Structure 1
Amino acid sequence: MDAATLTGLVKELNTANGDGKTDEVVRILKKLKTEVEPSEDLLRSSKAGVAIGKLRSSSTSTISSLAKEIVKSWRDVIEENKKKRKRDDGDDGSKPVKKEDGSAKRVKAEAGSSAKATTPSVASPIPNSVSTPDTKEVKQETNNKNKSPSPSNSSSVEQRQPLSTIDSSRTTPRTSKSDGVDKSLKADNSDGASDPVRDKCVVMIYDALACDSTAQNKILIERAMGIEKYAHKSTNYSTGNDYRGKMRSLFLNLKDKGNPALRNEIVLGYISTEKVANMSKDEMASESVRALNEKIASDNLFKAKAVGETQAETDAFKCGRCQQRKCTYYQMQTRSADEPMTTFVTCTNCGNRWKFS
């Protein structure tokens, strides 16, 4: 069933429900249950999920049970499609690398390109013992920690790498001060001028990456300098509010205790420093946060209230069933233009519905 047909059925369903035509509502629900192949785009464009989701609280048991069955089956199909896309496409559409040798080469290539991309263009004020990026060191650490990389290790950011550079047992956070490099950490300034704001941001990023890391100082310095460099570039080489807001956001997301996999991938070079500087908060989120966001998005297809006629809350009507004055109502022209509008009232306490002209 296409979107236009489904949208038409949803309108018929809303009208029949508003008029209190139970048999018609049941007929449309059964048709939707058997003929619709749900997808997120289809349900959003037609607002079918929201319309049927509201019917789960119907006072008519047949309607409510049918609505619950449809919502459950549609949600299951959507979740299964998401999982299938993740398995087939690695979440971001990239195809898995089939050969182990190719995977290992790709890991090394990415680590090497990341190191080159973040190499300072002029002499750095950092001591020689820690300032010179060493791509071989990255390769060596990758080989030592992950001696047999699998296709999943090189497919995408979504498929988290083994935490080979993370010490989960660390109780005291590692910082630039504890490593003795806080005074020498400087931003990568192409014009040679020192900027205290940028230097401080490099220290912040270093601290975020180092908090539970086992990587060597010079690797962390290289990553911190690269991230700050591209963040500065993305804000038009300014250190104003936009730049400071971006750096705060990067710092908070990178040091998140629940997301060690992101730090691990950045240190190993699976994610380039340029990409890190331009990642959104959703892209940097941990697996648990991503799963929660997906569940919320899926539930919102059925729980949103922005469907059907606009309704107003009032205490002007009294429910004949529960005697409460907690009602919503809307008006619709159901007869000729010279006739008064029909008012449809719903009790929010017991779900009772009635209408009058």
Structure 2
Amino acid sequence: MDANTLTGLVKELNTANTDGKTEEVVRILKKLKTEVEPSEDLLRSSKAGVAIGKLRSSSTSSISSLAKEIVKSWRDVIEENKKKRKRDDGDSGSSKKEESGAKRVKAEGSSTAASPSAPSPIPSTSVSTPDLKNESTSKKSPSADSPRQPLSTIDPSRTTPRTAKSDGVDKSLRADSSDGAADPVRDKCVVMIYDALAGDSTAQNKILTERAVGIEKYAHKALNYSTGNDYRGKIRSLYLNLKDKGNPALRNEIVLGYISTEKVANMSKDEMASESVRALNEKIASDNLFKAKAVGETQAETDAFKCGRCQQRKCTYYQMQTRSADEPMTTFVTCTNCGNRWKFS
């Protein structure tokens, strides 16, 4: 069933429910249960999840039980689709990580060989003679295969957070002034970013300084070289997300250089969020498909108003601030019997 057809059925369902046509409501619900293949986009665009979610509290048992069954089955399908996408993304992501990890290992090996301090290679003549003693010694020492283990700069056992002050660099930390004059506000922001990255890190002061200065530089650039409220809000958001104890993977990837400082400065709070926060946001979004109210004014049913046309007291109303804040709200009333509408303040 496409979105337009489903939207039409939802409108019919709402109308039948408003008119108290129980049999019609049950018929439409059964049709939705058997013919709809739910997806987040489909339910959001048609507002079907919201409409049926409201019917779970219906006073008619046949309607409420059927609505509960539909909501449960739709939620299960959506959750299963999410898990499937995660598995697919995980499989493709793991292969990419293995490939990039191999490249990093190769790069590290080549840089070590090119280093002036690296020991000279063993002559080929000495390799031809097996030496059991040297072989056993080499097995005990760190092997060339050690980079295959996950690289981490995070020390989870650390109880006292590292800071720029404890590292003795708080006085010397300065923002990159190549794009303008020195600014004490920017210098303090660099210290904040350093503290966020250094809390449980084992990285050298030099690396942490480079990352903090780089992140602040690109954040300053992204906000048109201003240190106003937008800039300070961005730095505060970066600080809180980078410092989050549940987000060590992000700090580790930044310190190791897997994520560039420019990308970090332009990441949104959702992109920086930890896995637990993302999972919570997904759960909330899924629940809102059935719990959130439809787009538009929130209306309540009441018998406090009498329709001037049909003299009935079956009305819905909502209130809206149409004038200045010190004026009372305007009440909009609709008669559910004849459709007459009026307003008053």
Give the deviation of 1:195 after TM superposition: 2.0
Match of 1:2 in 2: 2
Question: Which of 266, 271, 280 matches 2:254?
Answer: 266
AA of the residue aligned to 2:27: R
| 1:284–1:307 CA distance, 2 compared to 1 (3 A) | closer
Give the deviation of 1:191 after TM superposition: 5.4
Looking at structure 2, the residues matched to 176 and 333 of structure 1 have their Cα atoms a distance apart, in angstroms, of: 66
Match of 1:337 in 2: none
> Size of the alignment, in residue pairs?
285
Instruction: Select the structure with the greater relative contact order (CA < 8 A; seq sep ≥ 6).
Output: 1
| 1:63–1:163 CA distance, 2 compared to 1 (3 A) | farther
Give the deviation of 1:284 after TM superposition: 1.0
Percent of matched pairs sharing the same residue: 87
| 1:308–1:59 CA distance, 2 compared to 1 (3 A) | farther
AA of the residue aligned to 2:245: K
Instruction: Give the 3-state SS of the residue equivalent to 1:68 in structure 2.
Output: helix
- The answer on 1:293 being equivalent to 2:291 is no
**Is the CA contact (8 Å cut-off) linking 1:146 and 1:164 kept in structure 2?**
no
- The answer on 1:245 being equivalent to 2:243 is no
Instruction: Give the 3-state SS of the residue equivalent to 1:57 in structure 2.
Output: coil
Instruction: Give the 3-state SS of the residue equivalent to 2:270 in structure 1.
Output: coil
| 1:164–1:269 CA distance, 2 compared to 1 (3 A) | same
**Is the CA contact (8 Å cut-off) linking 1:166 and 1:264 kept in structure 2?**
yes
Instruction: Give the 3-state SS of the residue equivalent to 1:177 in structure 2.
Output: coil
Q: Output the aligned Cα RMSD.
A: 3.2
- The answer on 1:97 being equivalent to 2:85 is no
Matches within 5 A, 1:190-205: 190=178, 193-205=181-193
AA of the residue aligned to 1:37: E
- The answer on 1:187 being equivalent to 2:185 is no
The answer for unaligned runs of 5 or more in structure 2 is: 109-142, 306-314, 318-332
**Is the CA contact (8 Å cut-off) linking 2:241 and 2:273 kept in structure 1?**
yes
Structure whose alpha-carbon radius of gyration is higher: 2
TM-score (norm 1): 0.71
**Is the CA contact (8 Å cut-off) linking 2:219 and 2:235 kept in structure 1?**
yes
- The answer on 1:306 being equivalent to 2:304 is no
**Is the CA contact (8 Å cut-off) linking 2:250 and 2:272 kept in structure 1?**
yes
**Is the CA contact (8 Å cut-off) linking 1:3 and 1:42 kept in structure 2?**
yes
| 1:50–1:82 CA distance, 2 compared to 1 (3 A) | same
TM-score (norm 2): 0.74
Matches within 5 A, 1:274-285: 274-285=262-273
AA of the residue aligned to 1:97: S
| 1:292–1:145 CA distance, 2 compared to 1 (3 A) | farther
Instruction: Give the 3-state SS of the residue equivalent to 1:20 in structure 2.
Output: coil
- The answer on 1:71 being equivalent to 2:78 is no
Q: CA deviation digits over 1:97-135, x for unaligned, max 9? A: 36845542168889xxxxxxxxxxxxxxxxxxxxxxxxx
Match of 1:351 in 2: none
**Is the CA contact (8 Å cut-off) linking 1:163 and 1:261 kept in structure 2?**
no
Match of 2:85 in 1: 85
Instruction: Give the 3-state SS of the residue equivalent to 2:147 in structure 1.
Output: coil
AA of the residue aligned to 1:39: S
